[in-house]
Amino acid sequence: MSTSALSSQLIPTLEKHFGYTSFRKNQREIIETILAGQDTLVLMPTGGGKSLCYQIPAILLEGLTVVVSPLISLMKDQVDALRLNGIKAAYLNSSLKPEEQQQVFHQLRQQELKLLYLAPERLIDAENRFVIFLKSINTSLLAIDEAHCISQWGHDFRPEYRMLADIRKALNNVPTVALTATADPLTQQDILDKLQLREPNVFVSSFNRENIYYRVAPKRQSYAQLLDFLTERRDQSGIIYVLSRASTEDLADRLTQDGFMAKPYHAKLSNEVKETHQDEFLKDEVPIIVATVAFGMGIDKSNVRFVVHMDLPKNIEGYYQETGRAGRDGLPSDALLFYSYADVIKLQGFVEVEGNDEQSRVLREKLQQMAIYADLRTCRRKFLLNYFGEEAPDYCGDCDVCRNDYKTFDGTIIAQKALSAVARLGERFGGGYVIDFLRGSKSEKIWQEHKQLKTYGAGADISKKDWHRYLNDLLRLNYLQKSDDKFPTLQLTEQSWSVLKGQEKVMLVEISEPPTITIKSSAKPIEDSLFQQLKLLRRRLAQDEDVPAYLIFSDATLQELATYLPTQPEDLPHISGFGEVKINKYGSAFLDEINQYCTENDLDSRMSQLRRRSRKKQRSKPKSDTKQQTYDYYQQGKTIAEIAQVRGLSTTTISSHLAHFVQDGSLDVTELVDSATITKIENTIYVHGDRALKPLKDALDDNITYDEIRLVIAHLRR
């Protein structure tokens, strides 16, 4: 079949086999490239939707797609998920019994399978027998998951991955797609080199995880704060990371005593216990797992609603990967970190690699970045994305800093004092010494000669603690930097000089106690008790099939059901996640449950709303232009002022964008303007017409804005 003929089948295949109606960003382009037979590298964050990128080509291409993955524990899950959607797939790894393996070989010979998942070591045997076998059965695509494992620069190097280049050759350079969630450019280049991909197309997605809300709370009474946090999230699934093995068990016990079912997980538990706990968590039998970082690599559970770090992680890479396990299903999820500076000090010992100064230096620097993140007074998402080399707006609206509105003040004089102290001390001392010096400490510690310097005691009016905060701000704003020694000293940067010369103003954050957490919990479906009933139904079905509940349907699907209340079979294809096979298999069970609920509660189906919404979505999709971006932000719940700030545009521009969507019916004007104002504007328009805004504005009360007038005109024009 030609590529364009295949192209026209993408959406129907997506709908039929996965029950989704549209592709996520980059998916379509990636799939088209793969179908055209080109080598491809895909960089997408965890939860971004990498699997579909090779699963859809696997369905559409003739022959077999071989998927190499190091995560044996995930293979069964992935294969089960495919089978539940009616796609023929199997896996081969050390967990299978010989007769099960024979069965798979038989299916392969009969050409019954579309996808085969393999551990890399499976490809390697003395006489290359397995590769020869693969050659004999028409392999059309090789997908290499977790491709960073081939690179020594990655955090997870696997020597067996090095064989993959040879295997590609042995398979006559079969088209190959490599996929990873590691963004680091060094690793990226290494993957291309080591796999010897031919003229590869590289797709880098944004690493932004829009649905994760990032926040940091002070590590004071963290247990009590944790209980509050969990109480708001009863029955939701989450992972709590702690530093030590012992605390996984302690904390799990304590939570259980306090009425939250939680199980521990760490490397030293017996395999049996580990498997049971993991399994109970995956199957939604136990909502909370308390774990060390040993937990999670092989976890694909889509409905993890929160990830809590009780202790500071050692680097941003780890933190981002761990928090990324929340919200793979795209629903709002939380990442909460408890932070105290004492953790940084404690971890300093952990990041020293004996006999390797160079690596110790790298790891120390990474820990510093983690501490800076925890202390941020600017948007956390921006910091994370910048850390991974991605641009981001100053304000995301979805982290604790953005929602807290920290007040800043002109701190130029404070900054000048600090910078000049660092300069006069010859950039040879750490923060503690600089602060003592600034405060004019009488202690022995301060060298006699330094007491003669001009800035000595210039900052006596500011407390030690506040000086720490200001110095941190200056570091963050790049007016100061730290040397990367074991005992880092403060140094000036290029930017420091314009401050010292009085050419640049420095805005510092006003000092106040960080607020303890009081954040609303994640978005809820409209019929919460139905949602709970549907979860039970899903769990029963999952038990019957012995698969994790989220493989039957994701939470996102159950939320749609409990919001739009489909009552007839024709409704189901409109619900995300209901593909053909699942409609046949589970449709009636869910419809029965919903119908019964609607009868008992005297409710009508709200499917017409969903249909209207998806029609709008389709109609407005081609506008991937500036208006669409505004609309997307608006749909995320941002106000006009916030959107203007994020996009760096005026509120007038933003409201004219929204007016466009009011006019085409995608937005209801009553969402934007209150009804009394609408009536007033409408009445004035009847008198003056809608040709010019000025006469309308003049005829109306002063407090009615041009933006509001524009929106109501759009509404009437519709």
**Residues in the site for ligand ADP, rule: CB under 6 A?**
20, 23-24, 27, 44, 46-52, 300, 302, 328-329, 554
Q: How far is CA 712 from CA 659, 675, 691, in A?
A: 8, 10, 13
Q: State the nearest-atom distance from the C-beta of 591 to ligand ADP, in Å.
A: 22
23 binds, among ligand ADP, Zn ion, none (CB under 5 to 8 A by kind): ligand ADP
Q: Which residues bind Zn ion (CB under 5 A)?
A: 379, 381, 396, 399, 402
Strand order of the sheet with strand 115-118? 89-92, 115-118, 64-68, 139-144, 176-180, 40-43, 201-204
Q: In the structure encoding, which two tokens stand for residue 688, read together?
A: 């003056």
402 binds, among Zn ion, ligand ADP, none (CB under 5 to 8 A by kind): Zn ion
Residues 187, 603: Cα–Cα separation, whole Å:
55
* Cβ-proximal residues to 510 (8 Å cutoff; 6+ apart), any chain: 406, 407, 408, 409
52 binds, among Zn ion, ligand ADP, none (CB under 5 to 8 A by kind): ligand ADP
Q: For ligand ADP, which is the closer residue by CB, 27 or 140? A: 27
Among candidate residues 420, 501, 497, 492, the one with its CA nearest the CA of residue 454: 420
49 binds, among Zn ion, ligand ADP, none (CB under 5 to 8 A by kind): ligand ADP
What are 89's strand-pairing partners?
A: 115
Q: State the nearest-atom distance from the C-beta of 402 to Zn ion, in Å.
A: 3
396 binds, among ligand ADP, Zn ion, none (CB under 5 to 8 A by kind): Zn ion
Q: For Zn ion, which is the closer residue by CB, 217 or 711? A: 217
Question: Could you identify the residue written with the tokens 């304000």?
Answer: 395
Q: For ligand ADP, which is the closer residue by CB, 166 or 632? A: 632
Residues 574, 570: Cα–Cα separation, whole Å:
8
Q: In the structure encoding, which two tokens stand for residue 14, read together?
A: 């997506």
379 binds, among Zn ion, ligand ADP, none (CB under 5 to 8 A by kind): Zn ion
Q: State the nearest-atom distance from the C-beta of 262 to ligand ADP, in Å.
A: 24
The amino acid occupying position 504 is: E
328 binds, among Zn ion, ligand ADP, none (CB under 5 to 8 A by kind): ligand ADP
Cβ–Cβ under 8 Å, residues 30 and 42? yes
Q: State the nearest-atom distance from the C-beta of 444 to ligand ADP, in Å.
A: 57
Q: State the nearest-atom distance from the C-beta of 406 to Zn ion, in Å.
A: 11
554 binds, among ligand ADP, Zn ion, none (CB under 5 to 8 A by kind): ligand ADP
The amino acid occupying position 122 is: R
Q: State the nearest-atom distance from the C-beta of 282 to Zn ion, in Å.
A: 31
Q: State the nearest-atom distance from the C-beta of 206 to ligand ADP, in Å.
A: 13
399 binds, among ligand ADP, Zn ion, none (CB under 5 to 8 A by kind): Zn ion
74 binds, among ligand ADP, Zn ion, none (CB under 5 to 8 A by kind): none
Q: State the nearest-atom distance from the C-beta of 538 to ligand ADP, in Å.
A: 14
**Cβ burial, residue 58 (10 Å; 0-12/13-18/19+):** buried
Q: For Zn ion, which is the closer residue by CB, 84 or 402? A: 402
Residues 212, 693: Cα–Cα separation, whole Å:
41
**Across 194-236, where does the E strand assignment appear?**
201-204, 212-218
Q: State the nearest-atom distance from the C-beta of 19 to ligand ADP, in Å.
A: 9
What are 178's strand-pairing partners?
A: 41, 144
Q: For Zn ion, which is the closer residue by CB, 387 or 661? A: 387
Q: For Zn ion, which is the closer residue by CB, 108 or 517? A: 517
Cβ–Cβ under 8 Å, residues 400 and 381? no
- How large is the angle between the packed helices 651-663 and 626-635, nearest 10 degrees? 90
Among candidate residues 523, 529, 498, 609, the one with its CA nearest the CA of residue 564: 609
- What backbone phi and psi angles, to 5 degrees, belong to 62? -75, 155
381 binds, among Zn ion, ligand ADP, none (CB under 5 to 8 A by kind): Zn ion
Q: For ligand ADP, which is the closer residue by CB, 176 or 420? A: 176
Among candidate residues 286, 307, 332, the one with its CA nearest the CA of residue 524: 332
Q: For ligand ADP, which is the closer residue by CB, 144 or 217? A: 144
Question: Could you identify the residue written with the tokens 């704060």?
Answer: 225
Q: State the nearest-atom distance from the C-beta of 123 to ligand ADP, in Å.
A: 21
Q: For Zn ion, which is the closer residue by CB, 178 or 307? A: 307
Residues 643, 645: Cα–Cα separation, whole Å:
5
Q: In the structure encoding, which two tokens stand for residue 82, read together?
A: 């495919």
Separation of first and last alpha carbons in the chain: 44
Q: For Zn ion, which is the closer residue by CB, 396 or 558? A: 396
Q: State the nearest-atom distance from the C-beta of 302 to ligand ADP, in Å.
A: 4
How do strand 408-410 and strand 507-509 relate by DSSP bridges? antiparallel
Q: For ligand ADP, which is the closer residue by CB, 300 or 708? A: 300
Q: What H or E segment, with its residue span, contains residue 681?
A: helix 675-688
